[in-house]
Chains A and B, each alone.
Chain A
Amino acid sequence: MELFTPEFGLVFWMFVAFLCLYVILAKWAWPFIIKSMEERADLIDKGVAYAQEAKSHLDNAKAEADKLIAQARNEQAEILREASKMRNELIENARGEAAVEAKKVSEAAQVSLEQSRKEAEKKLRAEVGDLALQIAEKVIRRNIASDDAQRALVDQYLSEVEAKN
């Protein structure tokens, strides 16, 4: 049977063709393809692991961020409270200082008032003296008739002066 007897020529060429194919592919193709596929498989595995890790990191980060935000809120409230306290203190202090200052100012005003009053009194006294002297002069000039009359007159003049002041 022709079908079951291998033909020499075909065996020969099959051998040649297969060897050529094998040499070419084994040298330039298969190792590279296998290496590339395995590298990619590794890369994908690593990528999945990395993504899972990243996801867990992300979840953690969210919790952490929430914690940070809460902390920041607390701090903010704290700072605001501090600030308002400080403001009140400042206002209190300012008020106190202002009162002291005002007191000082009014005291000084009183002192100067007293002084000016004293000066005015001095002046008055001098003027009263002068006046008395003038009155006396006038009295003397009118030849004084009676002592009583003269005294009444002096009193009258003094009252007049006092009323004027």
Chain B
Amino acid sequence: MKSKIITAIVALVIVALMGWGYYSTAQHRAHGHASELNPKETIFEHLGDAYGWEVPFNHSMRIPLPIIVWGQDGLHCFMSNRITGGETYDGFKISTSEEHHGKVVQVMEDGSEVRPWDFSITKNVAGLFIAALLVIWMVMALKRWYVRNGMKAPRGAKGFLELVVDFVYGDTVRPILGKHAPKYAPYLLTAFFFILTMNLLGLIVIFPGGANLTGNIAVTLVLALLTFLITTFSGTREYWKEIFWPEVPMALKCPVPMMQLIEVLGMFTKPLALMVRLFANMMSGHMVVLVLVLLIFIFTNLFGVGVGVGTSIFSVAFTLFMLLLDVLVSFIQAYVFTILSTIFISMALVEPHHNEA
């Protein structure tokens, strides 16, 4: 009974929001903002970063976020709502030029646009912070449980969290790294939970979520870079020896350092693959969903409302399927990143072989 009432309320809210969305779109059109449907731009706008965070069913209102820029004349801080309307504030505006499209630029006296050092809390940065806080909250909740209840097994959500921790640490990190596991576990677990949270948050379309974080190459770049740094700095003598003097026929390594070249290249391709894999998987998932939704509008524009309605049924069904698939992919990619990082670290920790005989 209670659940039925809740369902009814949710359905009503959704219908009301849809009506409101339709109304505001109509208003938007009526005010002469009639915009050509540009699928490519829409997709990249949604995949990319933004100053301010959009609110559902509204084209103009955004949650303002701080803009922090180090321009030619020092530090500037202001809220993003001063410039997201296209205005210029304090010499800064969001560029519409080809080169710096959608980014904050400083307008110089001669009218040229210069990109300042941009430390703005953009939508993605805010999303990162939200994800980080969520992870801290989740993990600390689990820790508090152990502090308070000692040996008792956690129940409910904490039990599930423990299951995931055990899956990552007990079934992956510990078997691969063995006695080194406790040293690297904090990094790997943090990476796993941070990636998973960012992945899942990206799938939620409204405010706390919706930022395409792990589908942004900057985020995966940092993660891959960290794995690379850890791998490189925990490399044993044997690891470096295998790179610069591998056990292969002399002809392959002495006059022309062919193997060395391949090995050194391998050092970099491994984290590069990590970076691209996570980025491409998450971005493509988002992109497919966006394209499926855009199909409705494309077909409506091309063939009229009737076809658009028909398309929307298929689109929504496929979008739902894709989003559910993305939930799975979110988990798999977070896990794959973690297990590959673990394997790369374990490869860096090699001990000399004892099979010389």
Chain A contacts to B: CB under 8 angstroms: 2-15, 17-18, 20-22, 24-26, 28-34, 36-37, 39-40, 43
Contacts and interface: CB of A to CB of B under 8 A. Distances in A.
Contacts of B165: 33-34, 37
B151 A40 contact: yes
A22 B184 CA distance: 11
Contacts of A3: 44, 47-48, 217, 283
Contact of B136 (A8, A15, A24, A43): A24
Nearest to A20: B132
B125 to A, nearest CB: 4
15 contacts: A2-B44, A7-B118, A10-B128, A11-B221, A11-B222, A14-B128, A17-B128, A18-B191, A18-B226, A21-B132, A24-B136, A25-B186, A28-B140, A37-B166, A39-B151
A9 B80 CA distance: 15
Given A13-B121, A21-B194, A26-B190, A7 B166 contact: no
Contacts of B222: 11, 14-15, 18
Interface in B105-134: 117-122, 124-125, 128-129, 132
B49 A10 contact: yes
Contacts of B162: 33, 37
A33 B129 CA distance: 23
Chain B interface residue bracket vs A? 35 or more
Given A6-B217, A17-B129, 10 more contacts: A3-B44, A9-B125, A12-B119, A13-B119, A14-B222, A18-B191, A18-B222, A25-B139, A34-B165, A39-B151
Given A2-B101, A9-B118, A26 B221 contact: no
Given A13-B119, A14-B128, A43-B151, A4 B217 contact: yes
A5 B101 CA distance: 13
A4 B49 CA distance: 12
Interface string B196-230: 00000000000000000000111101110010000
A47 to B, nearest CB: 10
A33 B143 contact: yes
Interface of B: 44, 47-49, 101-102, 117-122, 124-125, 128-129, 132, 135-136, 139-140, 142-143, 146-147, 151, 153, 162, 165-166, 169-170, 182, 185-187, 189-191, 194, 216-219, 221-223, 226, 283
Chain A at the B interface: SS class: helix
A5 B162 CA distance: 37
A24 B134 CA distance: 13
A35 B162 CA distance: 12
B146 A18 contact: no
B194 to A, nearest CB: 6
Nearest to A10: B218
Given A10-B216, A20-B132, A21-B135, A31 B182 contact: yes
B189 A21 contact: no
A25 B190 CA distance: 7
Contacts of B120: 9
Given A3-B217, A7-B49, A31 B186 contact: yes
- A-B CB proximity, top 4 nearest: A26-B186, A6-B218, A10-B218, A36-B146
Contacts of B132: 17-18, 20-21
B51 to A, nearest CB: 11
Instruction: Output the residue of B135, B146, B170, B218 with the most chain A CB within 10 A.
Output: B218
Contacts of A40: 151, 153
Contacts of B117: 8-9
A29 B47 CA distance: 33
A5 B120 CA distance: 17
A37 B146 CA distance: 9
B32 to A, nearest CB: 29
B136 A33 contact: no
Contacts of B47: 3
Contacts of B140: 28-29
Contacts of A31: 182, 186
A1 to B, nearest CB: 9
Contacts of B121: 13
